[in-house]
Every structure is written in C-alpha cells, then in structure tokens.
Structure 1
Amino acid sequence: MYSMTRSLTSHDCYDHYKLKTYAKMFNCDGCKMKGFGERYICNLCGHELHKECRNPTPTISHEYFPGSIFEFLNEPFTKMGRKNRKVFSKCCDACGKDICGFNYHCETDNLDLHPCCRKLQKKLVIDGTIFDLVTKVSSKCGKCGKKKISRDEKFVLGWSYISQCGKYHFHVYCITEMVHEAYMKHGDLALENVDLRELVRYNRNRAGGNTFLTMIKTFIKILLSALLGDPTMLASNVLVELFSRGMQQ
C-alpha cells in the first residue's frame, strides 16, 4: 500500500528564510535534490531550500500533461520494501529520479514532478542549434545508448532534449546522473570532475567535434541551472570553465 502524509517542515514559519548565494552545492531540505548557488537558508535551523521549494504553488498544470492538475505536497509517497523498510514509491516523470521530498502530484493521472523539473525550459538554442524538450523519443540517448531510462524495477519514460537537426539526444536523467556520480566521488568539486568522455565517444564519428564539445558544455550548464534551481548560472561562465577542465582530463 502507498502512503503519503502532508506534514509541514520542522517549523511552519518561512519568515526566517533569507535568500543567500554561495558558489557550492547543497542538498535542498525540501525536495531533497541537489542545488547550487542561490538558496534560501533558515536562520533558526539552517535548512536550505531551492527558490522553487521556498515559494511553491498550491496547484499547477503543465503543458506536457494536458488536463492534469498537480497538487503541491510536502512529503513523498512511500511503500514497504524488502526487509520491511520504507522506500520511495514514485519517480519524477521529467527527470526519472525518485521523489524523496517536496513534489507536485496528480492523483487522477498518477503523475509526479520535482519542483525544479517542472520549470525545465521547453526549448534551448545553443550555438544556433535548437533543442526541444520532448516526452517521446525515437533515437538513442548519447550518454546511455538507450531510448528508455533503466530504473531497476521502476518504469519511467522520462524527458529528453533532442536537437531539431536530429544529431543530438540526451535524457535529462542521464545528465543528472553524471553530476550525481561525480558529486559522490568529489563532494563540492563535482562539477569540476564530471566525466564527459561518454559524450566525446558519442561524437567520435561525427564531423565538427570541437563544435560538438562547445555545444555540450553550454548545454549542460543551461540544463543544470534549471535542475539545480539556480537560473543565475545561465549568465555565468563558471560552469563552462569547470566542465572545460573536466573534458580536458
């Protein structure tokens, strides 16, 4: 059986949260996803929140799910797993990762979104190449080499960015996994150590390799700025430099 509670955070009053900026990663105490740069910090308990998690909307809709109404929830759904332990039972229909905290849920259509994922840009223009955010794909992801996301026993289609020229396709899930793996190894140096060699191999037999690498660095900066809840990074060259170093290793 699925269970879900709507308990508030450790203290109800958000007046103690102040917007601050630090050039390092943090774990959002709302959605439980990683963030970077701008965040709200509570002066009482030290909790940190994405801007989207600090100011959620009670109910939302999304153009990719016509007719579906999502309700903001403070707690994730859980179920009893192996050895009688509680496990998270829902995945974000955008990035494919587990829903572990704050979320938007549509009960009627059984859909779920992370607060930051609902803000993903529908269209990106990078070095003259247009990328569309799509829910259905016919090509293989340049990172995992598959059309669908592999998530243990959980099935989730997930969203992808695909170039209109048809050359480039990347799961949102795969891009976030690269950062997560690097973060687990290197902590706050994760962004500097993201390994993009898989993407380099993906372009091995394509013309214009240097153009591809430049595009990918910019593409990842823009995507991560949305996923990490920090749109200010869109105007910053910090991430481009960090990824450049990683690609030269």
Structure 2
Amino acid sequence: MSIIKRTHHNCDEHYELTSIQKLFTCYGCKMKGFGQRYQCKFCGQNLHSECRFPKNIISHEFFGGSIFTFRDEPFTRRDRNNRKEYSKCCDACGKDVCGFSYHCETDNLDLHPCCRNLDRKLLIDDTVFDLRPKVSSRCKSCKRRKISDGDRDVPGWAYVSTCDKYNFHVFCMLEMVHEAWMKNGEMGLEKVELRQLVKFSGNKGSGRGAVFETMKSVLKIILAALLGDPTALISSAFVELVSRSLG
C-alpha cells in the first residue's frame, strides 16, 4: 500500500481546459493522464475532466443495482508502524484508491473516476475489444486471470478481443505507464520495450512479425483509452520505439 502524502490548494476557480502532449498526475484521483486536462493557471495542478466535474451519485452496468457516491478523500488505516496508508483498491483496475473515488457502501465497491469512464468497446484494426469485468483467458502481460499482490485478489477488468486472442488487464497497462514514469520521467513511455510488457510464447518464424504488428496497434489504442488521449498522439514515438525493440 502507498503511504499518504497530501497537500491542499484552493484552485477551484482557476482551472482552465487545456491540452499538452505529456503525461500528468491528476491532483484529484492521483492517477495518470495524457493530453487534455483542466489545469490551474496559477499553481499548475492538473485534473481529469471527470475529476473536475464529478457526479454526486453514479451507477455502473458491471455492478447492477449498486449505487456509488463520490468521495474526495480516500479511506485509510494504520500500518504496523502506525502510519496512514490507503485501505481500498479500485474494483476495476485493482490499484489503490489514493484520492477521488466513487464508493458503494452497501456492496463495499470502489471505482476510480477514470476507470468508471473507460470505453466499453474499442475498435483496433477491424477487431472489436470489449471491456469485461471478468475474463476466462490469461492476460497477455501478467499471464494470469486475476490480479493479486499478496494482500488482495481482484478479478480485474480487461480489454478482450472478440476472437479471444488478446486480453489485457487494465491494471497491467497502468502498471506499465507507472513504471515508465518512475524510471524515465514524463516521456518514459517512449523507452518501454514491448517484450517487457507482453510475454509471448510459441510465436516464432514468419508469423511472429504479424503478431507483433497487431500487438502494437492493440497497445497503442488501449494506452490512449486509459490515459484519456482520444487522438492517440501518445502512441507515435512509443510505437516507433516498440518496433526497434523487437528487432
């Protein structure tokens, strides 16, 4: 679990909609974003659109009958050293809830605002990818069906192709973004090698090149969807470097 470090600035009246082709951390939900965001013109803090204008009450089709209310503070508990830590994880992606969220008290469910807003379908190279709350196949990245870090076991939403050949946990994609950010800074995605993300097996010979080309398109669009980049501009340098990493 992450240890909490929070500050507060009264910027509500000074946010302006802008678009910068760089990664950012949302001040509201603490998740990553790319491109379009609301930015404070004085202190530079950034917010996802969903975090700038949250709804008081929501529902979600994956949790029929559950009613979620907006929270601007995360749930916390004390660790063994009596320090505060986050005590909830998102039931969509499996990552800690560190800021803004939607919580269902009755069913003990939690959603990041950006996860709640994920596209249900993506069209990639004439193949439809469905966002699914449960999957039967293994994720192409972690090679598992569920997400587990030792403390919890979350089914984990995933984007799955209609042919069932390609399956990516939302969690695994976000982990790739986070690791690249921590190691390489704002343009970290440009330095990510595809082989570090996807564990291929049995793809050898002439057919492997075609698989990699398909995978590049898949990753490009899913990353763009997760980071809120509708134009997919985040993919240009990333895809080029992926190509070189596969040489």
TM score, norm. by length of structure 2: 0.88
**Which residue number corresponds to residue 81 of structure 2?**
83
1:150 has 2:148 as partner: yes
Which stretch shows the higher mean deviation, 15-24 or 196-205?
196-205
Count, aligned residues: 239
Change (3 A) 1:129 1:108: same
- Residue 205 of structure 1 and its aligned partner are, at CA, apart by 4.9
**Which residue number corresponds to residue 238 of structure 2?**
242
- Residue 207 of structure 1 and its aligned partner are, at CA, apart by 7.4
1:67-216 residue pairs with structure 2 within 5 A? 67-197=65-195, 198-199=197-198, 201-202=200-201, 204-205=203-204, 208-216=207-215
8 Å Cα contact 1:193/1:243 also seen in 2: no
TM score, norm. by length of structure 1: 0.87
In 2, distance between residues paired with 1:185 and 1:158?
Answer: 25
Q: Deviations over 1:151-193 (max 9, x none)?
A: 2312221101111212111111111111211111110121101
- Residue 94 of structure 1 and its aligned partner are, at CA, apart by 1.0
**Which residue number corresponds to residue 230 of structure 1?**
229
In 2, distance between residues paired with 1:202 and 1:231?
Answer: 32
Amino acid at match of 1:204: N
8 Å Cα contact 1:16/1:42 also seen in 2: yes
Amino acid at match of 2:145: K
Query: Which of 37, 40, 45 does residue 39 from structure 1 map onto?
Result: 37
8 Å Cα contact 2:100/2:113 also seen in 1: yes
Q: Deviations over 1:45-69 (max 9, x none)?
A: 3221111111111111111110111
Change (3 A) 1:99 1:206: farther
In 2, distance between residues paired with 1:28 and 1:248?
Answer: 31
8 Å Cα contact 2:143/2:199 also seen in 1: no
Q: Deviations over 1:67-109 (max 9, x none)?
A: 1111111011111112111111111111111000011111111
Amino acid at match of 2:88: K
8 Å Cα contact 2:224/2:235 also seen in 1: no
1:51 has 2:49 as partner: yes
Change (3 A) 1:230 1:126: closer
Amino acid at match of 1:201: F
Query: Which of 57, 60, 69 does residue 58 from structure 2 map onto?
Result: 60
In 1, distance between residues paired with 2:73 and 2:157?
Answer: 23
In 2, distance between residues paired with 1:26 and 1:232?
Answer: 16
In 2, distance between residues paired with 1:63 and 1:208?
Answer: 38
In 2, distance between residues paired with 1:91 and 1:138?
Answer: 22
C-alpha RMSD over aligned residues? 2.2
- Residue 217 of structure 1 and its aligned partner are, at CA, apart by 2.4
- Residue 41 of structure 1 and its aligned partner are, at CA, apart by 1.2
8 Å Cα contact 1:133/1:161 also seen in 2: yes
Change (3 A) 1:202 1:37: farther
Identity over the aligned pairs, expressed in percent?
54
Change (3 A) 1:31 1:122: same
**Which residue number corresponds to residue 3 of structure 1?**
none
User: Unaligned stretches of 5+ in structure 2?
Assistant: 1-6
Q: Deviations over 1:23-58 (max 9, x none)?
A: 211111100111111111112332211111111111
